[in-house]
Amino acid sequence: MPKTKIAPSILSADLSKINREIKEVEKFADLIHVDIMDGIFVPPVTIDAKFVKTIRTKAHLDIHLMVHEPSNSYIQKFIDAGAYSITIHEEACKEPARQINFIKKNRVKAAISIKPKTSLDKIKKYLGMVDMVLVMTVEPGWAGQKFISSATAKVMELRKLKPNLDIEVDGGINPYTARVAFEAGANVFVAGTSIFGKKDRVAAIKEILRALK
């Protein structure tokens, strides 16, 4: 299985002092997970590429586009802002191959995500194209939701299909649920509330890492 990676989600951080927030965790973070919501695919509207461009971190930026039919020019703004990886949603794109190919053409890692109720069959034809699959373990849109354990069945199937693929889980991740997802085959863990919701963010990350040993 690929290397285990921790991706603190800034959806639960204080955006008014985002670089200080990230500085607290970046030493122990493989990725910084950045949720982008457009108010169409999901009701909330969050930060944009201009904000992402202000982020200063040594960790890789993992951009999660919860955005309806993102255009090449829209995606390009996040590439220019320093994206290491960009995730699109199967449910938000008529033909995800278009976005995936554009991301890859720009030498950025491409990922595809599915919501808890979306069948894995919907993305099987893209598995040879992407660098990572993000399995949502909550309904996308809001931080602090409860982990949907049934989503781990998709993680298990994915790991059997693609032993070397990065499989990311996002939603309700804490030390206990991270372990559940890890045992199913996940290796990339997005955690927001369970890290930024704690006073000692480093201790919170270390607690998750201990659970994954």
Residues noted as catalytic: 35, 170
CA distance 125 to 121: 8
Look at the block and give the residue holding tokens 């930060």. Answer: 47
For residue 67, report the phi and psi dihedrals to the nearest 5 degrees.
-135, 135
If we measure between CA atoms, which residue out of 61, 41, 63, 70 comes closest to residue 140? 41
The token pair that represents 72 in the structure block: 């090449």
DSSP assignments along 2-44, one per residue: PPPEEEEBGGGS-GGGHHHHHHHHGGG-SEEEEEEEBSSSSS-
Torsion angle of C-alpha atoms 173, 177, 182, 186, degrees rounded to 10: -40
Helices (H), 143-199: 152-161, 175-184, 193-196
Pairing of strands 166-170, 188-191: parallel
CA distance 42 to 7: 21
CA distance 55 to 13: 13
CA distance 33 to 129: 21
